[in-house]
Chains A and B, each alone.
Chain A
């Protein structure tokens, strides 16, 4: 019987939120496979250059086995080195199903690992199920205008999961067994190395936010963006932008949501003065809830919105911000 291998990433005192999502998705597949002809034996996580206390938090999500690999000769993150380490871990543990988060790291790393097995890989999955004994992934295509069901035919199967879609659910594991591994990696696997990470100062990134408030051309100029920022801070969320706003130079590209920007799935997406072009929808249509504010009642954004306010953002945003603040008591 083979195993499921989960790639986990450390963050502060625990793991990245997306890692808990990966554990939950793994647990669901493990349970479902019990009724199939080839059930998985168990699942195992791999955490590279993390700590025992970080690893321990995985127990709360039902994981009972972790390989804690410590690489002594890596000065920074290296995709080539990590891919080699993960491949070895998969082989040693007879893992045939490998799950990654579809975040920046996972999207680059997962296909490297897949290639080492000449395995099939599917990125950015929004659903994973076992149907007729086969793992079937769901994945949006053509900018979310369609969705495919897809299966992998090779023995080893690699998937990455769109962040924020697989909600993490806590579950106590009977016991967490941490397998410590110290190794040195051959220089030939360290051809790429991250020298430095530059954080966007003090700002919450759209990819990490639960609530995003985005502005479009309707905001008319960068001097009015404080209206967007104020609502975002009332919600405790991040600030996003449409391409029209980024192309005009009003906001940085790191805030752009859409086909040539970021793909986000927050719990709430607020579109202010955004028309709802397909390329914008491509980046945010998998949000759990969408609130649109637009003065044009026929704006396409209202077709995908759960909630809408037809009105002038220059009047609505200050009012809405005040009322949200009052409601949340901030």
Chain B
């Protein structure tokens, strides 16, 4: 099986976010970057599929030179090949989708795995957008996947339950937490991954479909009425829920 896994490079979840000098982007000084957590499930699912059916797993990332670090994490986990579509400029999801589509057309994968969303901008669009550009079926937010011959059955999380969705290979799947338990790369594999080649590609340029025009740290004022556990204080809180919040 020919498997493609898309990974994005995002700030570590505990990063303190500061607005950069331009007023429209994050100040990335001192920020630690990681593989998008949902993409770890995507990588793991790709590896398991290869272990079952044979084939190769290629990881792809659209990003700056420093994204090689995230591709090396994927290599250490066990992917066979890594591709970096290298760019130093600001880019939007359309740019990413177009460039991944370009590589996918050459590679012609049976299945493409992505994460449910990137936890930086939560754009939540690559899986569907890419699917449409490649004219492929897609299922997003998948927490259980079964593939038998060409038939694909997936469980997809929705409000108040699950959808059981069917499609066939070739297709695109986006991973939800719970799909599997991603493996931790072992130290020798991490060492080996350091010297593995990463295939660098020059991106195709696209028009900018969306522009960020401002970024701010939200300063939602909370009421902040913090009281004790005495009976009268608890009653005071209930009164507030009634009078201020008008919930009960």
**A interface residue numbers (CB < 8 A to B):** 77, 79-80, 83, 102-105, 107-112, 114-116, 118-124, 136, 139-154, 191-200, 203-205, 207-208, 210-211, 235, 253-254, 256, 259-261, 267-268, 278-279, 282, 285, 288-291, 297, 302, 304-312, 315-316, 319-320, 323-324, 327-328
Interface-located stretch among B46-54, B67-75, B214-222: B214-222
The answer to whether A235 touches B139, judged by C-beta atoms less than 8 angstroms apart, is no
Beyond A104-B163, A141-B122, A197-B158, 19 extra complex contacts between A and B, CB < 8 Å: A104-B157, A112-B129, A112-B138, A116-B132, A118-B94, A123-B123, A142-B17, A145-B15, A148-B121, A148-B215, A151-B211, A191-B168, A192-B137, A196-B164, A256-B177, A268-B241, A289-B223, A291-B241, A307-B225
User: Is B120 in contact with chain A by the CB < 8 A criterion?
Assistant: yes
Report the bound CA distance from A147 to B122 in whole Å.
Answer: 12
Question: Within residues 12 to 38 of chain B, which ones have a CB less than 8 A from any CB in chain A?
Answer: 13-17, 19, 24, 26, 37-38
Q: Which of B37, B162, B215 contacts A147 (CB 8 A)?
A: B215
Number of A-B contacts (CB under 8 A): 260
- B125 with A111: CB separation less than 8 A: yes
Determine if B110 is an interface residue (Cβ-Cβ < 8 Å).
Answer: no
Chain A CB within 8 A of B167 CB: yes
- Knowing A121-B93, A197-B164, A307-B240, the reply to whether A115 touches B159 (Cβ < 8 A) is no
Which B residues are CB-close (under 8 A) to A119? 209
User: A260-B37, A289-B247, A309-B228 given as contacts; is B207 within 8 A of A153 (CB)?
Assistant: yes
Q: How distant is B208 from chain A, measured CB to nearest CB, in Å?
A: 6
A-B contact pairs, 5 of them (CB 8 A): A114-B125, A114-B129, A146-B17, A148-B212, A191-B137
Is A200 a contact partner of B161 (Cβ separation < 8 A)?
yes
Q: A112 contacts which chain B residues (CB < 8 A)?
A: 128-129, 131-132, 138
Residues of A within 8 A of B159 (CB): 103-104, 205, 207-208
In the complex, the 4 A-B pairs of residues with the closest C-beta atoms, listed nearest first: A311-B229, A120-B209, A115-B132, A308-B226
User: Which B residues contact A (CB, under 8 angstroms)?
Assistant: 11, 13-17, 19, 24, 26, 37-38, 92-94, 97, 119-129, 131-133, 136-141, 143, 153, 156-168, 171, 177-178, 207-218, 220, 222-229, 231, 233-235, 237-238, 240-242, 245, 247-248
Q: Once the chains are docked, how many angstroms separate the CA of A150 from the CA of B177?
A: 28
Q: Are A309 and B216 touching (Cβ within 8 A)?
A: no
Chain A nearest Cβ from B248, distance in angstroms:
6
Chain A residues near B38 (CB, 8 Å)? 260
Contacts of A309 in B (CB 8 A): 226-229, 233-234, 237
Please determine whether A194 and B163 come into contact, CB atoms closer than 8 angstroms: yes
Report B-chain residues with C-beta under 8 Å of the C-beta of A111: 124-129, 132
Query: Whole-angstrom distance between the alpha carbons of A291 and B241 in the complex?
Result: 9
Q: Separation in Å of the B110 CB from the closest CB of chain A?
A: 15
Beyond A115-B132, A278-B14, A310-B226, whether A140 also contacts B211 by CB under 8 A is no
B118 (CB) vs chain A CBs: closest residue: A141
List the B side residues contacting A153 at CB < 8 Å: 207-211
